[in-house]
Amino acid sequence: MEDAGGECVFVSEWDKYARLTYEHNFKNSNPNLFSKDTPGAETPFFVGDITKITERLKSGDDVIPDFEVLTGGFPCQPFSNAGLKKGMEEARGTLFFDILQILKTKIEKGKPVKAFFLENVRGLLNHQSGDEKTIEIIERNLVNLGYTFEKHLVWASDHGVPQHRPRVFLIGFWDKANAELFTVPESVQLELTMSDIMGGMVPQKIGRTLRVGGRGSGVSDRRNWDSYLVNGIEKRIGPSEGLRMQGFPSNFGFPATVSETQAMKQLGNSVAVPAIRAYSLAISKALGWSID
């Protein structure tokens, strides 16, 4: 989003190792978010548990600076009984409810967020919540707040990186005129193949989706996602290969305080940067942002 002309004003992340990685990479460019003394420490604009923030919002304490675009991801599993009711209450107990609460608070304050950009796994499209699909509950809640809503199934490999990684992008605008200006980014050719990533000949051009857990199962295991035959020899990807598969810039890295295990977990939880960048640029153009 910074590449699209934005400036981050508030972050929520409760994993302590991910917090260290955030600060390691973004403190120099955005020092106002972070503590000057203790790496990873909470600050007013770099918080941990978002539910504590939304509880304050519900009590009338708007602790989040005004902003134009909300970005984030959330798990779909907790929606087990969400289809039993209608409206905002049906999403209580999920992190999606906290996203709704932030949007609702800004609307009530007369400073509606102009757009949202949410990311989730492909399974969200078929996930059931009671008798209704979770995606339908999500759409209804956002539309009821006054937003437009559209969903896109996006493959990382369509945006230049050698990883399948199908993900659902949910995008909406407060002003329908902005929504009409939004254009879905076009696919681009692969910039790298798995042979480039692994530094040797790999049979497949596009790699498997990076995951969390289950590392080291080997190329003969159907669950394998991190091992490849390179020049006929089995090799596992590590953080440096994972960063390139996700399309991170060359100056992005992990601090020494983050282990390889934690780094791989973060990569499995991360997004494909070029795909996010392409859609961020499309959102910023629809909003009329000035991009240097």
- Cα–Cα distance measured from residue 281 to residue 185, given in angstroms and rounded to the nearest whole number: 9
Is 8 among the catalytic positions? no
Show Cβ contacts of residue 200 under 8 Å, excluding neighbours closer than 6 positions: 230, 231, 235
Choosing from 1, 50, 53, 76, which is the catalytic residue? 76
Q: What's the alpha-carbon Rg for the chain, to the nearest Å?
A: 20
Contact status, residue 207 vs residue 224, Cβ threshold 8 Å: no
Show Cβ contacts of residue 242 under 8 Å, excluding neighbours closer than 6 positions: 210, 263, 264, 267
- Cα–Cα distance measured from residue 173 to residue 198, given in angstroms and rounded to the nearest whole number: 40
Which residues are tagged catalytic?
76
